[in-house]
Structure 1
Amino acid sequence: MKNLAGTKKKSVIPGIIYLGHIPPRLRPRHIRNMLSVHGEVGRIFLQVEGVFFFFTFLADRAIRNKKKKAGSNARDFIEGWVEFRDKRVAKLVATSLNNSPMGTRKKNRFHDDLWNMKYLHRFRWSHLSERLAIERQVRKQRMRTEVSQAKRETNFYLQNVERSKKFSKADRKRAIEPGNSTIPDKQWNFTQRKTEAEIQALKASGDKKRIQKRQEQAERAQERSQTNRSLLQKIFNAS
C-alpha cells in the first residue's frame, strides 16, 4: 500500500498564457498548431477588435467596409488567452518564447512577428469568463445610456421645432394687417434705438416748431387787435 501511495501521480493544474499581440490573419488554429509542439493546448480565446468598445463601433464598421471592398471579410484580433493542460509547461513556454519569432521558417507568414506572451499566475479560465461577462454587461449599459441620450436629444430637438413653428405662426399673424393678405418681408417687430445725432435733430425740429407756433399765435393776436381797432373807429365815426 505504501508503494502504491508513493507512485500516485500529482494532480495536474492547468495554466493560462496571455497573448498581448495578435498579428493580422492569425487565427486560433494557427496558434494551436504553433504551441501544441511545446505541450497540450486546451481552450483558446481571441478577442475581436472593437467588440467591447462601443464608442469605436463606427470606426470598426468603416474598417470592415474597406476590408469588404478589398475582398476580405475576416476580422482582426487584439489579444488572446491560451490554456495549457499543465501550468509548468505554460510557464516554460511563456519564458522561452516571449519576444521570439512566431514562425520557425522564413516562408511562414508570421516569421517577422514576435510573440508577446506572459504567464498569468493563479489565473483560471473562470476568471476570464467572469471578465467577459462583466465587459458584456458594461457594453450593454453603455448602449442603453447612449440610446437614452439619443432619445432625449431627439425629443429636445422635436420640441424646439414645434416651438419655432408656433413662434413663426404667431409672428405671421402679427405681421398681417387687417384687410391685407400679404405678408411683409420683415417679421421682426422691434424699434432701433435712435442715435445722438437723430436725438439732437429731433430736438432742433421741435424747437423750430415751437418758435413757429409762437410766431403764428402772435400774428393772430395782432390781427385780432387790428380788427378790433377798425371796428371801434367805425363805431365812433358813425356816431
Structure 2
Amino acid sequence: MIYIVYAGGPDFLIPHPSELIKKYGMEIRWIGVDRGAYALMKENIGMEKALGDFDSVNDEELVELHRYSDNIEHYPADKNETDLELALKYANESEPEKIIIVGGTGGRMDHFLMAVHLMEKSSAPVWIEDHSNRIRVLHQGEHLFENADFPYVSFLPCTEKVKKLSLKGFKYNLSNETLYKSSSLCISNEWNGGQASVSFSEGGLLMIETRD
C-alpha cells in the first residue's frame, strides 16, 4: 500500500495525479494537504484524508472538499506541527510500503528542509518527488536499483558519517569509503546502465535522483 501526500507546492513542479497513478497504480491512498487537497478535488480524486489549517482555501472551497473526503481535519494556523508533519504521522500509522510526498519542493526553503528531516525520522520509507527530482533515505545495508528515469544521482550523508560506502554500477564507483557530512565526493554521479548497488555498514544516506 502506497500513500501519496499531495501538498500545495508550485504547480509546475508537481506531477499530475494521472502521472502518479500510471507510475504507482490505482491502489494509491491519497492524503490532501491544505491547498493540495483542493488540487486533488479539482481532478476528481477522492481522498482518504484531507488536513491542514486550510489558510489557502476559502470557505466555499472548504465546503466543497467535504464531497471528496469523509475525513477532514481542520487545524488552527498556530500549532506546533506543520501540515506535512501531521500528514506523515497519519500515514505512518498504517505501516505502508512507502509514502510519497509531492508538492513538497519549490517555494519556501524552510518547509522543504523540514520535509527532508521528516523523511529521516519516518518509520515507513518516504520519497519526495517532483518533475525534476526524487529524494529518499537509505539505511545501512545493501540496496539494489535499476537504471531510473533520472540521469543523475547524488548521495549525501544525513548522519555525521557513512562508513564502508560502496557504489557499483555507476559512472563513478566507490569501495568501502567513509563519506563525511561535509563532503561533496558523491555529488552528480550518473547511472552506468543496468543494475546498480549501494551498500554501507553504518549511518544514513540521502539518495537524490535528478535531471537538469
- Indicate the TM-score class for this superposition, using the shorter chain for normalisation: under 0.3
TM-score (ref. length: structure 1): 0.18
Larger Rg: 1
**Bigger fraction of residues in strand:** 2
Structure 2-normalised TM-score? 0.19
Which structure dedicates a bigger proportion of its chain to helix? 1
